[in-house]
Chain A
Amino acid sequence: MFLQQLINGLVLGSTYALIALGYTMVYGIIELINFAHGEIYMFGAFVGMYLVTVFKVPFVIAFLLAMVLASLLGVTVEFLAYRPLRRSSRLAALISAIGASIFLQNLALLVMGPRPYTFPSPFTPKVYKTSLVTISRVEIIILVISFLLMIGLTFLIQKTKIGKAMRATAQDKDAASLMGINIDLVITVTFAVGSALGAAAGVMVGIYFRTVTPMMGLMPGLKGFVAAVLGGIGSIPGAMLGGLLLGIAEVMGAAYISSQYRDAIAFAILIIVLLFKPAGLIGRFMQEKV
Chain B
Amino acid sequence: MYRKKFFWVTLLVFGLILAMVTGCTQPETTTPQDGDEPDGPVAGADVVKVGMVGPLTGGAATYGISVRNGAQIAIDEANENEEIPGVTLEFISEDTEGDWSKAANAFSKLIEQNKVDVIVGAVLSSETEAGGPIAMSGKVPTISPSSTATGLTIGNPYLFRNCLSDEVQASQLAEYANVELGFEKFAILYTNNDYGVALKDAFEETAKELAEVVAVEAFMDNDENFKPQLTSIQRKDPEAIFVAGYYTEAAKIAQQALEQGLEVQFFGADGFYSPVLMEIGQDAVEGAIFTAGFHSGDESPVVQNFVNKYRQLFNEEPDMFAAQAYDAARIVIEAMKSKGTSSEQIREGLAEIKDFPGITGNTSIDEEGDTLKDVLILKVEDGVFQRLR
Contact = CB atoms under 8 A, between A and B. Distances in A.
Interface stretch (A74-82, A182-190, A253-261): A253-261
B276 A116 contact: yes
Given A98-B17, A288-B1, A205 B224 contact: yes
Nearest to A32: B10
A141 interface: no
B252 A274 contact: no
Contact of A211 (B27, B29, B231, B248): B248
B389 interface: no
A219 B223 CA distance: 10
B279 A118 contact: yes
Interface string B223-235: 1110111011001
B261 A94 contact: no
Interface string B192-234: 1000000000000000000000000111101111011101100
A127 B230 CA distance: 15
B228 A255 contact: yes
Contact of A134 (B21, B220, B255, B261): B261
A56 interface: no
A274 B18 CA distance: 17
B13 interface: yes
A222 B228 contact: no
Interface residues of A, number: 51
Interface stretch (A4-12, A148-156, A157-165, A192-200): A4-12
Given A109-B28, A210-B252, A251 B227 contact: yes
A258 B276 CA distance: 29
Interface in B251-304: 252, 255, 258-261, 276, 279-280
A171 B280 CA distance: 47
A255 B259 contact: no
A263 B224 contact: no
Given A125-B259, A134-B260, A210-B255, A5 B13 contact: no
Contacts of A288: 1-3
A4 B227 CA distance: 9
B224 A4 contact: no
Nearest to B59: A114
B225 A225 contact: no
B232 A255 contact: yes
Contacts of A219: 222
Contact of A35 (B17, B235, B248): B17
Given A12-B225, A136-B259, A288-B2, A1 B231 contact: yes
A214 B3 CA distance: 34
B13 A114 contact: no
A127 B260 contact: yes
A124 to B, nearest CB: 12
B13 A94 contact: yes
Nearest to A210: B280
Contacts of B248: 116, 211
B260 A136 contact: yes
B384 interface: no
A12 to B, nearest CB: 6
A174 to B, nearest CB: 16
B261 to A, nearest CB: 5
Contacts of A210: 252, 255, 280
Given A125-B259, A259-B229, A288-B2, 4 more contacts: A8-B231, A113-B27, A115-B276, A274-B11
Listed from nearest, the 10 A-B pairs whose CB atoms lie closest are A114-B27, A254-B228, A8-B227, A209-B224, A260-B218, A136-B259, A251-B228, A109-B27, A255-B228, A259-B217
Interface of A: 1, 4-5, 8, 11-12, 33, 35, 90-91, 94-95, 98, 102, 105, 109, 113-116, 118, 125, 127, 129, 134, 136, 138, 205, 209-211, 214-216, 218-219, 222, 225, 250-251, 254-255, 258-260, 262-263, 267, 274, 278, 288
15 contacts: A1-B235, A5-B228, A5-B231, A8-B228, A94-B10, A94-B13, A115-B62, A116-B248, A209-B224, A210-B255, A211-B248, A258-B218, A260-B220, A288-B1, A288-B2
